[in-house]
Structure 1
Amino acid sequence: MNRILVIQDSPSVNAILKFRLEKGGFSVETVETGEEGIEKTKACQYQLILLDYNLPGINGSQVCRILKEEDNTRNIPVVFMSAKDENELCQITKQAGANGYIGLPFDGKTFIDKINRVLENT
């Protein structure tokens, strides 16, 4: 079973994402800050990280760059989630070295399909 870490500062969004992902057959853990996400990723093996761009403290771009610089986390796919404009989100994704993005709000089936595509391509 693929393990996914969700780094998202909203407890209600975390609950929705966890529900959708578990319903899609994934094992899911959630944290609410970038710092927690970095620590969790160093301690556990994940097949995918879903990362909110707008986090308190260090933002999603900084978290992604840190993870991509570390030997033990650089190969974990990172997918941004944000309600930002799609063009802006695409540019942020490329600059940070992430593997993709999902615009918010999202459709449940489309969301799971996109997650599966990212996992298949890694």
Structure 2
Amino acid sequence: MRYLLVSLLLIIGLMGCASQRIAELSTAEDWVGLANYDVEAGRKARSEQDLTSLGASDKEQQSEYQTAYEAHVKEYCKPDNGYHAGISGKPRNSVCIDDAPQGWLYEDNWETGLEAGKIF
């Protein structure tokens, strides 16, 4: 029971950190930063409605987010980066694995890195 409570509090604390970061980026109208954050967190691209609720109410801001998101997927989801994500202990990134053209290779490299990270 004690471990369950500690785990629950840890998860809630981490969720608060993520929400705070999203709030900081949207308040600063840093749509490129938000796009990069979403890709690295394995989050699918935000919808127009989601972006509007965060303050990106005009098409230019939403386009900036979408363009940055697509560019960051191409860069961040390169198969070689999967190993670095795995060895760093990062969780499975569904954007890089499920949505990227070479997602299967990213996943293989991520798993290899994850195993290597357990050794250290």
Greater share of residues in helix: 2
| TM-score (ref. length: structure 2) | 0.28
**Which protein shows a greater Rg?**
2
Greater share of residues in strand: 1
| TM-score (ref. length: structure 1) | 0.27
